[in-house]
Structure 1
Protein backbone atom coordinates (compact mmCIF):
# COMPACT_ATOMS: atom_id res chain seq x y z
CA UNK A 1 0.00 0.00 0.00
CA UNK A 2 1.32 3.41 -0.99
CA UNK A 3 1.15 6.35 1.41
CA UNK A 4 0.08 9.51 -0.37
CA UNK A 5 0.08 13.06 0.96
CA UNK A 6 -2.86 15.03 -0.45
CA UNK A 7 -2.96 18.82 -0.30
CA UNK A 8 -6.26 20.65 -0.09
CA UNK A 9 -6.13 24.30 -1.07
CA UNK A 10 -8.66 27.05 -1.47
CA UNK A 11 -8.41 28.75 -4.84
CA UNK A 12 -9.22 32.32 -5.77
CA UNK A 13 -12.63 31.21 -7.07
CA UNK A 14 -13.50 30.05 -3.52
CA UNK A 15 -13.51 26.34 -4.36
CA UNK A 16 -11.30 23.78 -2.65
CA UNK A 17 -9.06 21.49 -4.68
CA UNK A 18 -7.30 18.28 -3.62
CA UNK A 19 -4.17 17.03 -5.35
CA UNK A 20 -1.33 14.61 -4.60
CA UNK A 21 1.92 16.10 -3.35
CA UNK A 22 3.77 13.57 -5.53
CA UNK A 23 1.45 12.54 -8.37
CA UNK A 24 4.00 10.04 -9.72
CA UNK A 25 3.68 7.78 -6.65
CA UNK A 26 0.54 6.15 -8.09
CA UNK A 27 0.04 4.75 -11.61
CA UNK A 28 -3.25 6.66 -11.90
CA UNK A 29 -4.25 10.28 -11.40
CA UNK A 30 -6.63 11.56 -8.75
CA UNK A 31 -8.13 14.96 -8.05
CA UNK A 32 -10.92 16.28 -5.92
CA UNK A 33 -12.86 19.52 -5.69
CA UNK A 34 -15.74 21.04 -3.80
CA UNK A 35 -17.23 24.07 -2.14
CA UNK A 36 -15.69 23.03 1.20
CA UNK A 37 -12.71 21.09 2.51
CA UNK A 38 -14.98 18.16 3.31
CA UNK A 39 -16.48 18.14 -0.20
CA UNK A 40 -13.03 18.18 -1.81
CA UNK A 41 -11.91 15.33 0.44
CA UNK A 42 -15.08 13.33 -0.28
CA UNK A 43 -14.70 13.94 -4.02
CA UNK A 44 -11.08 12.73 -3.85
CA UNK A 45 -12.14 9.52 -2.11
CA UNK A 46 -15.01 9.00 -4.58
CA UNK A 47 -12.62 9.35 -7.51
CA UNK A 48 -10.28 6.84 -5.80
CA UNK A 49 -13.12 4.30 -5.44
CA UNK A 50 -14.27 4.87 -9.04
CA UNK A 51 -10.71 4.34 -10.26
CA UNK A 52 -10.48 1.11 -8.25
CA UNK A 53 -13.74 -0.12 -9.84
CA UNK A 54 -12.53 0.77 -13.34
CA UNK A 55 -9.25 -1.08 -12.81
CA UNK A 56 -11.17 -4.11 -11.55
CA UNK A 57 -13.50 -4.05 -14.57
CA UNK A 58 -10.52 -3.86 -16.92
CA UNK A 59 -8.65 -6.64 -15.10
CA UNK A 60 -5.78 -4.33 -14.16
CA UNK A 61 -3.80 -4.48 -10.94
CA UNK A 62 -4.87 -1.65 -8.66
CA UNK A 63 -2.35 0.00 -6.34
CA UNK A 64 -3.99 0.55 -2.96
CA UNK A 65 -3.24 3.82 -1.20
CA UNK A 66 -3.58 5.41 2.20
CA UNK A 67 -4.12 9.15 2.23
CA UNK A 68 -2.97 11.87 4.59
CA UNK A 69 -4.80 15.12 3.94
CA UNK A 70 -2.93 18.40 4.52
CA UNK A 71 -4.35 21.90 4.25
CA UNK A 72 -2.96 25.25 3.28
CA UNK A 73 -3.28 27.77 6.13
CA UNK A 74 -6.46 29.62 4.97
CA UNK A 75 -8.20 26.31 4.19
CA UNK A 76 -7.09 24.87 7.52
CA UNK A 77 -8.43 27.85 9.48
CA UNK A 78 -11.72 27.87 7.61
CA UNK A 79 -12.17 24.10 8.07
CA UNK A 80 -11.63 24.23 11.83
CA UNK A 81 -13.68 27.42 12.23
CA UNK A 82 -16.65 25.51 10.84
CA UNK A 83 -17.13 27.74 7.77
Structure 2
Protein backbone atom coordinates (compact mmCIF):
# COMPACT_ATOMS: atom_id res chain seq x y z
CA UNK A 1 0.00 0.00 0.00
CA UNK A 2 2.84 2.36 0.87
CA UNK A 3 4.56 1.68 -2.45
CA UNK A 4 1.37 2.56 -4.31
CA UNK A 5 0.94 5.80 -2.38
CA UNK A 6 4.60 6.68 -2.93
CA UNK A 7 4.27 6.00 -6.66
CA UNK A 8 1.15 8.19 -6.85
CA UNK A 9 2.92 10.98 -4.95
CA UNK A 10 5.95 10.75 -7.23
CA UNK A 11 3.73 10.92 -10.34
CA UNK A 12 1.83 13.89 -8.94
CA UNK A 13 5.01 15.81 -8.16
CA UNK A 14 6.47 15.00 -11.58
CA UNK A 15 3.34 16.20 -13.35
CA UNK A 16 3.22 19.35 -11.24
CA UNK A 17 6.77 20.29 -12.18
CA UNK A 18 6.25 19.40 -15.82
CA UNK A 19 3.13 21.55 -16.09
CA UNK A 20 4.85 24.62 -14.64
CA UNK A 21 7.11 25.13 -17.64
CA UNK A 22 7.14 28.46 -19.43
CA UNK A 23 4.68 28.49 -22.29
CA UNK A 24 5.64 29.83 -25.66
CA UNK A 25 3.60 32.54 -27.34
CA UNK A 26 2.47 29.98 -29.90
CA UNK A 27 1.14 27.75 -27.11
CA UNK A 28 -0.63 30.68 -25.48
CA UNK A 29 -2.34 31.59 -28.75
CA UNK A 30 -3.34 27.97 -29.28
CA UNK A 31 -4.83 27.82 -25.77
CA UNK A 32 -6.77 31.02 -26.35
CA UNK A 33 -8.12 29.76 -29.66
CA UNK A 34 -9.25 26.55 -27.97
CA UNK A 35 -10.93 28.56 -25.20
CA UNK A 36 -12.77 30.69 -27.74
CA UNK A 37 -13.83 27.59 -29.64
CA UNK A 38 -15.23 26.03 -26.46
CA UNK A 39 -17.03 29.25 -25.57
CA UNK A 40 -18.62 29.48 -29.01
CA UNK A 41 -19.71 25.84 -28.87
CA UNK A 42 -21.28 26.39 -25.45
CA UNK A 43 -23.06 29.52 -26.67
CA UNK A 44 -24.39 27.68 -29.73
CA UNK A 45 -25.66 24.82 -27.59
CA UNK A 46 -27.38 27.27 -25.26
CA UNK A 47 -28.95 29.11 -28.20
CA UNK A 48 -30.14 25.82 -29.67
CA UNK A 49 -31.71 24.84 -26.36
CA UNK A 50 -33.49 28.19 -26.14
CA UNK A 51 -34.74 27.90 -29.72
CA UNK A 52 -36.08 24.42 -29.03
CA UNK A 53 -37.82 25.65 -25.87
CA UNK A 54 -39.31 28.56 -27.81
CA UNK A 55 -40.51 26.21 -30.55
CA UNK A 56 -42.14 23.98 -27.94
CA UNK A 57 -43.89 27.00 -26.42
CA UNK A 58 -45.12 28.14 -29.85
CA UNK A 59 -46.42 24.65 -30.59
CA UNK A 60 -48.21 24.56 -27.25
CA UNK A 61 -49.77 27.99 -27.91
CA UNK A 62 -50.90 26.88 -31.38
CA UNK A 63 -52.46 23.72 -29.93
CA UNK A 64 -54.29 25.77 -27.32
CA UNK A 65 -55.48 28.23 -29.96
CA UNK A 66 -56.71 25.32 -32.10
CA UNK A 67 -58.61 23.93 -29.13
CA UNK A 68 -60.21 27.31 -28.50
CA UNK A 69 -61.21 27.58 -32.16
CA UNK A 70 -62.80 24.13 -32.01
CA UNK A 71 -64.71 25.10 -28.87
CA UNK A 72 -65.91 28.30 -30.55
CA UNK A 73 -67.08 26.31 -33.62
CA UNK A 74 -69.01 23.91 -31.41
CA UNK A 75 -70.77 26.80 -29.68
CA UNK A 76 -71.77 28.31 -33.03
CA UNK A 77 -73.29 25.03 -34.25
TM-score, reference length from structure 2: 0.33
Structure with bigger gyration radius:
2
Give the TM-score, by structure 1 length.
0.31
Considering Cα pairs closer than 8 Å and 6+ residues apart, tell me whether 1 or 2 has the greater RCO: 1
Question: Which structure dedicates a bigger proportion of its chain to helix?
Answer: 2
